[in-house]
């Protein structure tokens, strides 16, 4: 089973750049999207339904902002929107699809890049998400999304210069360590120890062409699923967003 995660930075913009044609070629079974930036009524269901996907959408209340979705060729047993905390749910940050044997999540963590207030919200989200997920570590969970955190120096092109940058702050990195220690596995890093693999690049200074990037997008699995993990990729040649997609292959 192929599962993709992709922060598309606006689903309409990604479609204009050939996202649907690319997705068809991947033949993925399930796709977790972040930053869809569209409301549920405007979501382009027919495009994805014609490719064989059911569409499950959890937009932000604010127009043109945030929001997550799951596309699946297999119908879920149930879909859950949100985590029960109004601040995050109105921003469309967590969507779960429950299947027989596992649960798939599309998650978009807040960014602190717009200032101190949003950084404080980001840190509160991290604390709340940790407590929300902590009782569920024995479940078969696949958590896909933009975490807006680089975990280690290997995950960012210039760790020294970014030591005080949101997304690479010591407290954010420590949180990600604590999250993994709950019983989760960073699938890409588990199978790929090499440096210079990134999932996001600044739009400035020709950063993507120079591969001056950050690895902030993850596909995490709970440890009970680790024996089923076969492959993990970063699909850096896909250029529909300032992020690129990640993909795992699992025997599910």
Q: Which residues are catalytic?
A: 146
Q: What is the pLDDT of residue 175?
A: 98
In this structure, whether the domain defined by 2-250 belongs to CATH 3.60.10.10 is answered with yes
Tell me the CA distances in angstroms from 61 to 40, 41, 86, 122, 222, one per residue in order. Answer: 10, 12, 11, 18, 30
As a whole number, mean pLDDT of residues 35-63 equals 98
* Segments making up each domain of the chain, as ranges: 2-250
Q: What is the pLDDT of residue 177?
A: 98
In terms of Cα–Cα distance, which of 140, 75, 128 is closest to 102?
A: 140
As a whole number, mean pLDDT of residues 107-130 equals 95
DSSP assigned state of 148: -
The model's pLDDT over 61-70, given as tens digits with 9 standing for 90+, comes to 999 999 999 9
What is the spatial distance between Cα 239 and Cα 232, in angstroms, rounded to a whole number? 19
Q: What is the pLDDT of residue 114?
A: 83
DSSP string, 67-100: -EEEEESS--SEEEE--S-HHHHTTT-EEEEEET
Question: Which pLDDT band holds residue 75 (cuts at 50, 70, 90)?
Answer: very high
The model's pLDDT over 82-116, given as tens digits with 9 standing for 90+, comes to 999 999 999 999 999 999 999 999 999 999 888 89
């Amino acid at each position: 089973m192929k599962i993709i995660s992709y922060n598309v930075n606006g689903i309409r913009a990604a479609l204009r750049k050939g996202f649907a044609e690319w997705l068809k070629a991947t033949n993925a079974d399930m796709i977790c999207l972040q930053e869809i930036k569209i409301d549920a009524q405007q979501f382009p269901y027919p495009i994805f339904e014609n490719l064989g996907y059911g569409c499950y959408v959890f937009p932000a209340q604010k127009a043109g902002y945030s929001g997550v979705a799951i596309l699946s060729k297999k119908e879920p047993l149930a879909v859950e929107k949100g985590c029960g905390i109004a601040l995050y749910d109105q921003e469309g940050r967590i969507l779960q699809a429950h299947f027989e044997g596992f649960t798939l999540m599309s998650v978009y963590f807040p960014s602190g890049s717009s200032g101190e207030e949003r950084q404080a919200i980001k840190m509160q989200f991290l604390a709340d998400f940790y407590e929300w997920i902590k009782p569920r570590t024995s479940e078969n969970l696949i958590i896909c999304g933009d975490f807006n955190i680089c975990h280690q120096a290997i995950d960012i092109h210039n760790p020294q210069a970014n030591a005080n940058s949101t997304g690479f702050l010591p407290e954010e990195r420590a949180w990600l360590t604590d999250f993994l220690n709950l019983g989760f596995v960073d699938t890409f890093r588990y199978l790929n120890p090499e440096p210079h693999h990134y999932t996001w690049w600044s739009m400035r200074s020709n950063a993507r062409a120079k591969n001056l990037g950050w690895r902030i997008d993850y596909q995490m699995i709970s440890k009970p699923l680790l024996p089923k993990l076969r492959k993990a990729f970063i699909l850096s040649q896909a250029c529909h967003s300032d992020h690129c997609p990640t993909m795992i292959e699992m025997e599910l």
